[in-house]
Amino acid sequence: MTQAINSSQALYRCLPAMDSLLLIPQVIGFSDTYGKPWIKSLLTQMLVDVRASIATQQQLPHWCQQSAGVVIELQQRIDAGHRASMSAVMNLTGTVLHTNLGRSQMCEAAITAVTNVMRHPVPVEFDMGQGKRGHRDTAVSSLIHELTGAKACCVVNNNAAAVLLMLAATAAGKEVIVSRGELVEIGGAFRIPDIMAQAGCKLVEVGCTNRTHLQDYAAAITDNTAAIMKVHTSNYHICGFTAAADEAALAQLCRERGIALISDLGSGALTDLSRFGLSKEPMPQQMLKDGVNLVSFSGDKLLGGPQAGLVVGDKDLIAKLQAHPLKRALRCDKMTLAALEATLKQYRQPETLDNQLPIFRKLARPLSSLNSLAQELIGLWPNAAKVVSHALESHSEAKDASVLAQHFNVTIEPCHTQVGSGSQPDVLLDSVALCFMPSANGTMSLSQLDSLFKAQAIPILGRITANRLWLDLRGVDDEYLLSAALKAVSCSPVSMPILQAAPEFIIGGAQ
């Protein structure tokens, strides 16, 4: 029989000894399977948590009532310990390229390519034709030439690295001219002036925030000038009384004065985005055609590939990047190169990009399709309510059995999706969301519902704003998995009773 515990000291005395826990038959089995040191460390943490619960709440956790509860809790902690930190989630936040969620999803061809190079030896730096050492950028460089006309390409691990290497290899110890309206800062405090300093360049600012003219650049060129640099302001937009020198005019000026024109393009679209209802982005192929000598851009944003930075352009300048000591420190591994190559091959058929690349599939999904999906999903709630009604008839303690039916009103609402990762900041796509608003009689908060969504086998990530939790359906990858997860949430219990009773299996004192 269990008995009520009325004091913290009595509760502390109820703590089981470590030796008694290790003698539980199921725990012995866990020790044999996973190793005794790790299982003992988990049990130690469980006892720490019990002490914390006594100190702050003057009660024992619900699992600390009998040995079966300890086994269940230990199993859950074992499962959590084996769960990958980067396991799948459902990104319904309304940001397609979510930096904190890995940005672009890979196409199936890229996934297959990465799996292949993980499993087998591959000629990452071996020339199969000549039977000697080759260069790891060769395959990507060939594809970039095919797609953009660039004479050569250098691949590094992200666009920040690409900008750093581009400056260090072409302008170290010299001046680089940049418009004041293009001295951008991106996430993680990446600032153009700081990168200039790290690369050993001297930044020369010209023009004004909103207007910079060709003559501003021309007047700033000296004998120590190495390059003019254009920076695409992908994460903000200046409108109104503005002016900027175009690449073709700057390229002509640079040729006349014997300096290079380089560009940090940032997001790096290789296809026209206006067909998705987005603003038309500058593309590397057009900038090269206009005479830009080097263009850098990301692989994991609007390109739709893995995290990578590409510098494309003149062969002689690319050779300087390849020979620079930083290149080895910034180079990509075989998995990134394989995914990037497979992604670039999809651009050989631009008409199929909407089906092959996940980012374009999401951007292209029609509003009518999202509305239909929303109608199907919201149809789950009446069924959940019926289950609750039946439970109320049978079990008085089940009054809080359904989270959604009892605590939230669920509606279909129009919303807007953003591209994300600093791309297209001033353009939003029309979308549809499931919205959860606390009901008048509900006692559960939106943050608690959010936690419940995140606790699913595949966590659901939405956003909380305007006193509602929004699930933007443009981000859905698998409608069946989302439906199953929402059904599970709709029938989840709100709370479990926490008993304050002595465990039945306690042997000895605290450890």
DSSP 333-396: -HHHHHHHHHHHHHTTSGGGHHHHSHHHHHHH--HHHHHHHHHHHHTHHHHHHHHHHHHHHH-G
Q: Are residues 181 and 327 located together in one domain of the fold? A: yes
Query: What's the one-letter identity of residue 123?
Result: P
Q: What pLDDT was estimated at residue 387?
A: 35
Contact 7, 55 (CB under 8 A): no
Give domain status of residue 465, yes or no: yes
Q: Are residues 167 and 316 located together in one domain of the fold? A: yes
- Its domain, for residue 222, covers 149-331
Give domain status of residue 30, yes or no: yes
Number of domains into which the chain is organized: 3
Assign residue 232 the CATH number of its domain.
Answer: 3.40.640.10
Give domain status of residue 59, yes or no: yes
Residue finishing a domain among 82, 116, 133: 82
Q: Are residues 371 and 437 located together in one domain of the fold? A: yes
Contact 360, 469 (CB under 8 A): no
Residue finishing a domain among 67, 82, 97: 82
Give pTM, 2 decimals: 0.83
Assign residue 405 the CATH number of its domain.
Answer: 3.90.1150.180
Q: Are residues 327 and 377 located together in one domain of the fold? A: no
Give domain status of residue 268, yes or no: yes
Give domain status of residue 511, yes or no: no
Q: Are residues 166 and 315 located together in one domain of the fold? A: yes
Residue finishing a domain among 82, 105, 125: 82
Q: Are residues 159 and 259 located together in one domain of the fold? A: yes
DSSP state letter for 475: G
Q: Are residues 318 and 412 located together in one domain of the fold? A: no
Give domain status of residue 155, yes or no: yes
Give the C-alpha distances (Å, rounded to integers) separating 244 from 177, 248, 296: 14, 12, 20
Q: Are residues 315 and 442 located together in one domain of the fold? A: no
Give domain status of residue 501, yes or no: no
Q: What pLDDT was estimated at residue 488?
A: 85
Spell out the residues 6+ positions from residue 451 whose beta carbon is closer than 8 angstroms to its own: none
Q: Are residues 378 and 483 located together in one domain of the fold? A: yes
Q: What is the pLDDT along the chain (511 residues), one digit of tens a residue?
A: 244 445 777 888 878 889 989 999 999 999 999 999 999 999 999 999 988 888 888 888 878 777 888 899 999 999 889 888 888 999 999 999 998 999 999 999 999 999 999 999 999 998 888 888 989 999 999 999 999 999 999 999 999 999 999 999 999 999 999 999 888 877 666 788 899 999 999 999 999 988 999 999 999 999 999 999 999 876 667 778 888 889 999 999 999 999 999 999 888 788 888 887 777 778 899 999 999 999 999 999 889 999 999 999 999 999 999 999 999 999 999 999 999 999 999 999 988 999 999 999 999 999 999 999 999 998 876 543 333 333 333 333 334 445 567 788 899 999 999 988 667 666 789 999 999 999 888 888 999 999 999 989 899 999 999 999 999 999 999 999 999 998 888 776 654 333 333 334 433 333 3
Q: Are residues 187 and 321 located together in one domain of the fold? A: yes
Sign (positive/negative) of CA torsion 117, 122, 128, 134? Answer: positive
Q: Are residues 74 and 186 located together in one domain of the fold? A: no
Q: Are residues 199 and 320 located together in one domain of the fold? A: yes
Give domain status of residue 124, yes or no: no
